[in-house]
Chains A and B, each alone.
Chain A
């Protein structure tokens, strides 16, 4: 496979060719960095022919905060709090990834209570993340009301998490060696009440959007990402599973207590926006199932296995592990030199790889299709740029 590298100016100013009188004029439009549908400061340069997209060129870096470089000057406990700011919708899973990497490197064992709470709280956040995605999908497709319904139900989880973790978005709850706090006494009853509350609401989501003929028409056979392309672009999470590949790190490389719970992996058949849509809806149901299985079986134990201020000395060597966030697999690479700060820290963020599939799937579609595709990829731009 040959690789062609072009700069943006080369693409936008192609060499002049003789125009036939019937040719239409192609033009470029900047979608973003300030555009309502790019979910942040993503810039997509679109080469357009009328309403049809001929080429999509993502331009990144508008919210680059050099988290990886900063991490080279911070020790494990401090890196964790930076990961809140990467994929802010699954902050807990990001915390867990770094904590697990540090724990694995240092050979720290955690007790079942810690692992159960981590699993439980990450699944809650997966539901929360998908709720927000569902609302924003409606917003992108023009149904503003679903946005408010999604946020209303998300608020329930946010309140539960706030009570336990002390923050609403950047939680910094899962620490190397354990958790920052123990579970709040209200946590278990409130989660049970939430599941009771949210199951009918999920059916309502289906009535409001999934069954809606306009939504189906907007999503079906739009942005088809074949299994080969999905693997080629390194897509993970619901985007990969929508293309028919049942890769779920919770099943393949179980961490936490995922090997002790029963759940199914929703998989798409075509790889279009509809499959990605339905998989996320189904993942919410599966996550609720996981929470239901775990909520009554939280074992006793300590919530922190290390001394809080203990030095986190990373042994010399390279460490890499992945966990499944709401958007795909987040990989953490740490290179230790025997000191507490890593020599190199790298995050393999799911959104970065998922984003590039847009360059393939959106070509030939309309602008509205691009909006639907970007929305069903569920991008969080701070995670792309880091």
Chain B
């Protein structure tokens, strides 16, 4: 399939290295993205089909995000409850499955309060910044070979660029509330997210080095012989741990939920928010958690790629029976559960310890890890190289 597009220009970033068993994957998996489908339709002058793809894709994304929000609220409450020897929501519907809908209706109907002294415009805009950052990151999310919106050549860089977008929402929300607690929360969030972005990106860079590509689909296909988390003698594992820690911090979830800091800052940046706007912050937080999990799965656990062991054809064939979408959902769910597990186990860090952890521990570790990773890549000394 020949595609011409400004976004699909072969860029200098997509150079091919001679290492990595990419050919196996290339043969098996044909990646089709939504953008490619629309472009194909446009090239064929089939505007109706392009419109259907465009509208359908948009509607599906919004629907998926909303549905995922509901599911996650329920899952979080149930998982938390079972960690804490409780039952969780049990009243609305069977085992409380309709509880998030009830919550949603409540949030919709609540009075929307804007403090008198708040900066109205920024206060209203702030939740949408969070939502915007979330939707931008969805663009490059590879869900399965057939489900991906756009497969940018510089997908990783795009991801790194937009993943910090949510901090605008948090910062503006906290600042415009004109509340000292919100302000403290916002400042904490800004410092935290900007700092942890560094090691997050360095952890991703290790995988980029291994796979030799910035393109999401190629990163996944480079894991056709095995996932990067275990193939590279611990380098992948360390990078994975760094990524997990940094992404928990990016997500403002416990043990790094300093910007909310319920017991310290009475809710932090969203202290003054209520009703639907509060719900938007919440939705963004939950969807961002799924996105972080999905990208963790993509980079370290092979994304939609089934679990393969080198060239062991018999084993790989069995694994291929399970559809890629299922692999993706499974891996993402595992990561989401891990994030919830962290949240309901660990106490919160202090703000200076948070910074010390990043700059004095994670950053050196990820830099050293990057060097070791480079050595591993150059020597080709990893499994199934």
B-binding residues in A (CB < 8 A): 27, 29, 35-37, 51, 138-145, 147-149, 152, 208-209, 212, 214-215, 217-218, 366-369, 371
Contact = CB atoms under 8 A, between A and B. Distances in A.
B350 A148 contact: no
Interface in B329-358: 344-353
Contacts of B265: 367
Given A36-B262, A139-B263, A142-B263, A148 B349 contact: no
Given A37-B263, A368-B264, A214 B85 contact: no
12 contacts: A141-B348, A142-B257, A142-B348, A143-B345, A144-B84, A145-B84, A145-B345, A149-B84, A217-B350, A218-B349, A367-B264, A368-B350
B4 interface: no
A29 B188 CA distance: 16
A142 B346 contact: yes
A141 B353 contact: no
B182 to A, nearest CB: 11
Interface in B215-270: 254-255, 257-258, 261-266
Contact of B263 (A149, A366, A369, A371): A371
A138 B264 contact: no
A141 B263 contact: yes
Nearest to B257: A142
B384 interface: no
Given A27-B180, A218-B349, 13 more contacts: A51-B184, A139-B263, A141-B263, A141-B347, A142-B257, A142-B262, A145-B84, A149-B85, A214-B346, A214-B349, A218-B350, A368-B258, A371-B263
Contacts of A212: 346-347
Contact of A51 (B255, B266, B344, B351): B351
Contact of A143 (B85, B264, B347, B352): B347
B369 to A, nearest CB: 21
B91 interface: no
Contacts, number: 80
B305 to A, nearest CB: 34
B181 interface: yes
Contacts of A143: 254, 345-348
Nearest to A142: B348
B351 A144 contact: no
B321 interface: no
Between A140, A145, A147, A149, the greatest number of chain B beta carbons within 10 A of the residue's beta carbon is seen for A145
Between B85, B188, B345, B346, the greatest number of chain A beta carbons within 10 A of the residue's beta carbon is seen for B346
Contacts of B86: 148
A148 B82 CA distance: 11
A29 B181 contact: yes
A141 B188 CA distance: 16
B180 A29 contact: yes
Contact of B264 (A27, A215, A371): A371
Interface string B274-302: 00000000000000000000000000000
B347 A142 contact: yes
Contacts of B83: 145
Given A148-B85, A149-B84, A369 B350 contact: yes
Nearest to A367: B264
B319 interface: no
B157 interface: no
Interface in B150-201: 180-181, 184, 188
B209 interface: no
B85 A140 contact: no
A185 B352 CA distance: 54
Between A37, A139, A367, the greatest number of chain B beta carbons within 10 A of the residue's beta carbon is seen for A367
B80 A144 contact: yes
4 pairs of A and B residues whose beta carbons are closest in the complex: A142-B348, A148-B84, A141-B347, A143-B347
A211 to B, nearest CB: 12
A81 to B, nearest CB: 33
B233 to A, nearest CB: 26
A24 to B, nearest CB: 13
A366 B261 CA distance: 13
Contacts of A37: 263-264
B347 A138 contact: yes
Contacts of B261: 142, 368
Given A141-B263, A142-B255, A145-B345, A368 B180 contact: no
B257 to A, nearest CB: 7
Given A142-B255, A142-B257, A149-B85, A368 B80 contact: no
A208 B180 CA distance: 33
Nearest to B86: A148
A37 B348 CA distance: 14
A308 B348 CA distance: 52
Contacts of B350: 217-218, 366, 368-369
A218 B356 CA distance: 13
A334 B263 CA distance: 39
Contacts of A367: 184, 264-265
Nearest to B262: A36
B266 A35 contact: yes
A212 B80 CA distance: 19
Nearest to A32: B266
Contacts of A145: 83-84, 344-345
B349 A217 contact: yes
Contacts of A36: 262-263, 266
Nearest to B350: A368
Given A37-B264, A367-B265, A142 B351 contact: no
A51 B257 CA distance: 16
A342 B264 CA distance: 43
B180 A214 contact: no
A145 B367 CA distance: 35
B347 A209 contact: yes
